[in-house]
A and B are shown apart, each in its own frame.
Chain A
């Protein structure tokens, strides 16, 4: 790689004052990149702010922002998504397994996965056959900044963004010259000059992604304005017809949720069983059975995830990125855990048992981090999520142990009761804090509404009821063999429920943001009066 290439940073400048929302870029992109029905790598939003008679309407180009710090790259377990030295965030369809981790990690809703062939007229036309991309089925896809053109430019000695044949289709096709493509690392480039001479913003800059699409909203001759928080109040941001509002993600459905539900419980169970055995509540000889039960539950979760991914035959590629991806790490831990379990079956040994226990809790930790690293879903990336997943795993483990006291597999003990009570309270406090901090943590109104709907059942089933039962068991002379299993079931239901909901019901996407806009519109939004005229234009 030459020095020049190292210093390149391809990006775009989108001038909100120019964009007319015509969708020419959208459709030119579809042509250039042969995307199938419903897939738009490039899209223009039609955004309205204010209330009649003070209204403004702005059109905003969106798509992959080719972030300098792309949240999609480190999470990818296969290495299918990479960042090139020139800044382009690339996709290798032949490597991607379609796990959708990148898709939920993107705060710009830039990625799509199409699992089945689809055609515009319901039947395949000659053209669609000629431009079909079977390699894209079941894997993640997104804007490439027309990487083929950028690379062709290199071969031909041309400049993308200047020479139209080698400029990304959206930029080249734009009929308002609203999209400019170029090298941000070159101070003299078209894009650098535009951002140097005009005010600009980056979308979701606060997330630290350093997106490489910069939006102009104010030129020297045309005023711009910052959009107040009051303009995007909860009511407006809870309106799904508002294009700024993120929709419920559908990349990870119930099958993905099962991994957290079963995996967390299983990890907790293994660890709790190990802990119980160390204090003599479980006979050492029976520990393996607990481990096997945990591994079985974990396998159910993993099987569900396996069924969810787009390209199952190449699932093994998910082992590729333990250096950055918690998903790869989770798999390695699964290997360690199952490997150790195999060894334990052949040659039981306390060291192996300890290893298994810590692998199990490591597995839960990975799950916690997987969710937390998904930057595209505010409810997941919230700071308390790792602690909540971990704490839930532990309490579910204790809950499972408590349940198993009813089958005489575990000796009822105040230690279980105490651990259950403490962990239940910790979980309750975490969930409550998570919810009360939700707005502050950037969780959008629709997700907060879902959380609010969820809270009574989670708190009552997962926290209050078991805590009460544990408490009664602690102070009252009731047979713990009756109370503990009920408390355990309650804990398990609560844990299962909230994780299922957090993955499938609270998981609204980040949505889009328009922090500043050209000043225009009606009433208070209108550009200021200008009585002085303009100098003669030549």
Chain B
């Protein structure tokens, strides 16, 4: 008789998770995997898991796994140096690591430059947290740790959206309200590849319903394929397209008819008067921004009862302007204009014809898209949600990764959000929504984070820029507090700083800046910066300079090639963890439920690995911080506080606990809180049932009710607060003699002025002595649903099915462009930039601009078993780590100017 069971666990390989599944185990062997249909009615993606989840069994039984702890015996590090790893016991491995840690503790946690001696990097999107057990508790117990070394996250993300989105509407991630939206303008967001099960599920419903999406992007991605219309725009000119739309709406159409005027007047800063120096004109006594009331022809503080807020015109008003560093400019009679009037002035020149010249989209299409957007906006309509009547504005604008990070990111994010504001579609049913908060507090409640701040806007914790409080000495190597006021200071902020700068500064010490030091010990988990960074080959060289690397390792890879100790990772099916599910999360995970789900060992460990919770406990004990570690768990470092007013499931801080004991306590606390004490469940219950849910109000999908309740306004269109911080930052940096951030400082504008952004990348070619004409292609990347985030490039099953989708076998090039170069399907080609080269096979398609190349995903492996034989090119091998390509938020973009030519063969 064979013994067979189905074990419930979650999949959180990508930021679009979690999704739940069951693994069929037969005689102790995991044999098959399928969605957990038990949750089909509550999970907004019908309870399904996506293609990536099905790779997990093969991941577990991969014969290339690191079989036991290893230590390096070759002291020399380099890509071409054999690390000469030799097997050691767990005891020895943990001794080596903890000895190093104890040594650091003894001498001090901070080095001479003020940087933490310990650094930790984890993979993209915070997903490793869903797998790393209580390692966060170890980190919390340890003290200062540099988490600002980017491995792709923080720099190759939706960066401007994260920062500006969170400031404007608590939108670390922006999503259309897909269940209701009817018209979406999508500039390059490849959501059909990246928004996970829920996104795909809901988008498919929307398509069948008749919702129309216009996809604006240089190559016909999966998402473009599924859009009603594809508009092949010139790379990195999306801001021009969006500005053209705004011009069409407020200049060519009668904005008073087609815009949501009450929304503009009451929910935005459109009526705020702006003084001649560009700052809000304020009431001298209360310092509140003024609005001109057209009804009684007087200016009143923004929160006064206003009969008819003027949106246009110029008014002579007494008041003050508040500039940077406490500067007060007094006016007896300033000529002030409402910010909406300034918006009108600002976009006057951005006509569709002008935009067409910049972005290569015909003016007629720009006008048509704007008009269709307006036609679908349903201004004046309402919808009942759970008994509350809310505005119904089923239109949205989405931005892709390379559109909204790096130069131009601020411009596109601003324009996108303004398009929503103009028709009252921001944070209302059907419109443009945020899904999650990572920078503001409380982290567990997006609507709860809607709290009054200055000037009638939501509060936002900028990193200080005043002389007194500015962080003149960075406390981690990417200096997010010092350089990027908008990155705030939450646990996520280090990852959202300029996370590529540490690699760059390690190579070139910037002027008037603390000496760049390397961490004395660097932990890496589920991350591969030697592949996933810009200029990955150069990052690999930097890694070789790190003195001591501890890698939680699955197989050999390009990063742990430089490691000193390899600790075999207990993978997805071997370890234990409880996580929160539901509410609103990341890409499109809007639930009507929230709760907890479990990932549990499905089989006995396939190799000699150890659960990260046990590793953390052991390290804490051997390092002498067990008590702090246990207390961190009690305080919630494992995702749930164990000691609250109504319950106490805390663990004894003085003794070592097994992973089961720790998660048992978490299970009880979590279920207690969720059920308000009515259904307290232990670990065994979760192991059997897989998950536990409570309800989550749909009203919490939208900020609008909270904004109205507190009479708050979205901080648009005018960016007074951001610019004040920018000006102050300029003062601080210049006082410190720092001139290398000057270009970034220019980006602080009240309303963004269009720049010919592609020119920045052409200039970069010239900087390196190249002639842009000799690098005639724009190289871009696109997400692969089969591979993205999954760290699954070494899994042949994934490779097999991914191959059914075009672009997984090489570089995508326009068929005619290829023919002109004499390149045929499958030909080996080289793709070369001024900073790097990569090789692959030509994939000829019609759905790509003739001036564009696309390399899907992140490949070019040279160590990872199986992946190294895929011969896939990678944008990361030709992109640059460069200050001149870094914007004011500290991000660059996945775009490179390259040439392409036939190569003798695909280089291994």
Q: Does A173 contact B (CB under 8 A)?
A: yes
Given known pairs A174-B48, A527-B212, the reply for A537 and B394 (CB within 8 Å) is yes
Chain A residues lying within 8 Å of B805, measured Cβ to Cβ, are: 21, 23, 44, 46
A31, CB-defined interface residue at 8 Å = yes
Closest Cβ of chain A to B424, distance in Å, is 15
- SS class of chain B's interface: helix, strand, loop or mixed? mixed
Per the bound structure, the CA–CA distance linking A140 and B378 in Å amounts to 57
Q: CA–CA, A129 to B27, complex, Å?
A: 12
Q: Are A131 and B31 interface neighbours, CB within 8 A?
A: yes
Interfacial residues of chain A within 362-411, with CB under 8 A of chain B in the complex: none
Query: Across the interface, which residues of B come within 8 angstroms of A37, CB to CB?
Result: 796, 800
CB contacts under 8 Å to A, within B542-570, are none
B201 contacts A176, CB within 8 Å? yes
Note all chain A residues with C-beta closer than 8 A to B786: 22-23
**Alpha-carbon distance between A333 and B840 when the two chains are bound, in angstroms:** 55
Q: Report the bound CA distance from A240 to B45 in whole Å.
A: 36
- Whether A48 contacts B57 by the Cβ 8 Å rule is no
- A22-35 vs B, CB cutoff 8 Å, 1 = contact: the mask equals 11101110111010
The answer for the CA separation of A172 and B796 in the assembled complex, in Å, is: 24
Q: Are B849 and A24 in contact (CB under 8 A)?
A: no
A22 pairs with B63, CB closer than 8 A = no
Interface flag for B816 (CB, 8 Å): yes
> Do A521 and B204 touch across chains, with their CB atoms under 8 A apart?
no
Would you call A26 and B225 a contact (CB within 8 A)?
no
Q: Is residue A425 within 8 Å, beta carbon to beta carbon, of the partner chain?
A: no
A528 CB to nearest chain B CB (Å): 9
Inter-chain CA distance A59–B377, complex, in Å, is 30
Q: Which of B37, B63, B210, B228 contacts A125 (CB 8 A)?
A: B63
Choose among A26, A52, A534 the residue that contacts B182 (Cβ–Cβ < 8 A).
A534
State whether the Cβ of B693 lies closer than 8 Å to any Cβ in chain A: no
Other-chain contact of B232, A31, A165, A174, A522 (Cβ < 8 Å): A522
Asked if B33 is at the interface (CB within 8 A of a chain A CB), the reply is: yes
Residue of B193, B204, B209 with most chain A CB atoms under a 10 A cut-off = B204
**Chain A residues, CB < 8 A from B55:** 27
Q: Is A31 in contact with B200, judged by CB distance below 8 angstroms? A: no
Which residue of B has the minimal Cβ distance to A50?
B846
Is A239 interfacial (CB 8 A cutoff)? yes
Per-residue A-contact encoding for B47-71, CB less than 8 Å = 1, 0 else: 0111100110110111110000000
1/0 per residue, CB under 8 A from A, across B286-314: the answer is 00000000000000000000000000000
Q: A residues 512-538 with Cβ under 8 Å of B? A: 519-522, 526-527, 529-534, 536-538
Residues in B whose Cβ lies below 8 Å from that of A28: 34, 54
Judging by beta carbons under 8 Å apart, are B61 and A537 in contact? no
Q: How far is the CA of A449 from the CA of B209 in the complex (A)?
A: 45
User: A347 on the interface (CB 8 Å rule)?
Assistant: no
Q: Is A31 a contact partner of B54 (Cβ separation < 8 A)?
A: yes
Closest chain-B Cβ to A121's Cβ sits at a distance in Å of 5
Q: Are B63 and A17 in contact (CB under 8 A)?
A: no
B26 contacts A by Cβ under 8 Å: yes
User: Is A169 engaged at the interface, CB distance under 8 Å to the other chain?
Assistant: yes
- The reply on B275 being an interface residue by CB < 8 A is no
Q: Mark B153-191, 1 if CB is under 8 A from A, else 0.
A: 000000000000000000000000000101100000000
Q: Is A95 an interface residue, CB under 8 A from the partner?
A: no
> What residues of A have a CB within 8 angstroms of the CB of B32 in the complex?
31-32, 34, 131
Query: Hey, which chain A residues are within 8 Å of B797, CB to CB?
Result: 27, 30, 120
CB-defined contacts of B848 to chain A, threshold 8 Å: 52
- B318 interfacial contact with A, CB 8 Å: no
Interface residues of A in 73-130 (CB under 8 A from B): 120-121, 123, 125-130
Inter-subunit contact A176/B200 (CB<8 Å)? yes
Asked whether B228 lies within 8 Å of A532 as measured between CB atoms, the reply is no
Cross-chain contact A538 with B383 (CB below 8 angstroms): yes
- Chain A nearest CB, measured from B308 CB (Å): 28
Q: Is A20 an interface residue (CB 8 A)?
A: yes
Does A58 lie at the interface of the complex (its beta carbon under 8 Å from any beta carbon of B)?
A: yes
Number of residues of chain A lying within 8 A (CB) of chain B: 74
B847 touches A22 (CB 8 A): no
Q: Which of A228-264 contact B (CB under 8 A)?
A: 239-241
Contact A55 B846 (CB under 8 A): yes
Q: A18 and B796: CB pair below 8 A?
A: no
Are A26 and B230 interface neighbours, CB within 8 A?
Answer: no
- List the one stretch of B368-376, B509-517, B762-770 in contact with chain A: B368-376
Question: B229, A522: Cβ atoms under 8 Å?
Answer: yes
Chain B 831-853: CB-based contact to A (< 8 A → 1; otherwise 0): 00000000000011111111000
Q: How far is the CB of A119 from chain B (nearest CB, A)?
A: 9
Q: Which of B29, B383, B801, B826 contacts A536 (CB 8 A)?
A: B383
Interchain nearest-CB distance for B815 vs A (Å): 7
Confirm or deny: B249 has a beta carbon within 8 angstroms of a beta carbon on chain A.
no
Contact partners of A38 in chain B: CB under 8 A:
800
Residue of B30, B182, B230 touching A55 (CB-CB under 8 A): B230
**A426 interfacial contact with B, CB 8 Å:** no
Q: Are B200 and A532 in contact (CB under 8 A)?
A: no
> Is A164 a contact partner of B40 (Cβ separation < 8 A)?
yes
Q: How many Å lie between the Cα of A15 and that of B753 in the bound state?
A: 44
| Contact of B63 with A530 in the complex, beta carbons under 8 Å | no
Contact indicator A31/B208 (Cβ below 8 Å): no
The answer to the question of A142 belonging to the interface, with a C-beta cut-off of 8 Å to chain B, is no
Q: Bound complex: CA of A127 vs CA of B29, how far in Å?
A: 6
Do residues A130 and B26 form an inter-chain contact, with CB atoms below 8 A?
Answer: yes
| Residues in B217-233 with C-beta less than 8 Å from chain A | 220, 222, 224-232
Task: Return chain A residues, CB-CB under 8 Å to B866.
Answer: 121
Would A43 and B804 be within 8 Å (CB), given that A31-B32, A534-B376, A536-B381 are in contact? yes
- Please determine whether B61 and A125 come into contact, CB atoms closer than 8 angstroms: yes
- Whether A177 lies near B226 (C-beta < 8 A) is no
B37, B57, B208 interface centre (most CB from chain A within 10 Å): B208
In the complex, A45 has a CB within 8 A of chain B: yes
A23 to B826, CA, bound (A): 23
A175 in contact (CB, < 8 A):
yes
How far does the alpha carbon of A165 sit from the alpha carbon of B34 in the complex, in Å?
A: 10
Taking the nearest CB of chain B, how far is it from the CB of A317, in angstroms?
31
Cβ-defined contact, A221 with B34, below 8 A: no
Bound Cα distance A46, B205 (Å)? 21
CB pair B220 A46 closer than 8 Å: no
B883 at the interface (CB under 8 A from A): no
Contacts of B378 in A (CB 8 A): 533, 536
A529 touches which one: B203, B230, B368 (CB < 8 A)? B368
- The answer to whether A21 touches B804, judged by C-beta atoms less than 8 angstroms apart, is yes
Q: Which of A30, A126, A239 contacts B29 (CB 8 A)?
A: A126
- Whether the pair B229, A20 counts as a contact (CB closer than 8 A) is no
Shortest distance from the beta carbon of A20 to any chain B beta carbon, whole Å: 5
Expressed in whole angstroms, the minimum distance between the Cβ of B190 and any Cβ of chain A is 11
Contact in complex: A531, B371 (CB < 8 Å)? yes
Known: A28-B54, A123-B63. Contact between A534 and B816, CB under 8 A?
no
> In the complex, are the beta carbons of A130 and B846 less than 8 A apart?
no
A129 to B58: give the CA distance in the assembly, Å.
12
Contact call B381/A521, Cβ cutoff below 8 A = no
Distance between B658 CB and nearest chain A CB, rounded to angstroms:
26
Expressed in whole angstroms, the Cα–Cα distance for A43 and B815 within the complex equals 25
Residues of A with C-beta under 8 A to B224:
57
**Other-chain contact of A40, B49, B60, B375, B801 (Cβ < 8 Å):** B801
The answer for the CA separation of A131 and B33 in the assembled complex, in Å, is: 13
Contacts of B205 in A (CB 8 A): 177
Instruction: List 6 extra interface pairs beyond A20-B204, A30-B801, A172-B35, CB under 8 A.
Output: A40-B800, A48-B220, A57-B847, A126-B606, A241-B843, A526-B230
Enumerate chain B interface residues (CB-CB to A < 8 A).
26-27, 29-35, 37, 40, 45-46, 48-51, 54-55, 57-58, 60-64, 180, 182-183, 192-193, 197, 200-201, 203-205, 207-212, 220, 222, 224-232, 368, 371-372, 375-378, 381, 383-384, 392, 394, 430, 606, 785-786, 796-798, 800-802, 804-806, 814-816, 825-826, 843-850, 866
User: What are 9 A-B interface contacts by the 8 Å CB criterion?
Assistant: A20-B192, A21-B804, A48-B847, A52-B849, A127-B60, A176-B203, A177-B46, A177-B201, A534-B376
The 5 closest A-B pairs by CB, nearest first: A221-B210, A57-B225, A527-B228, A125-B61, A176-B204
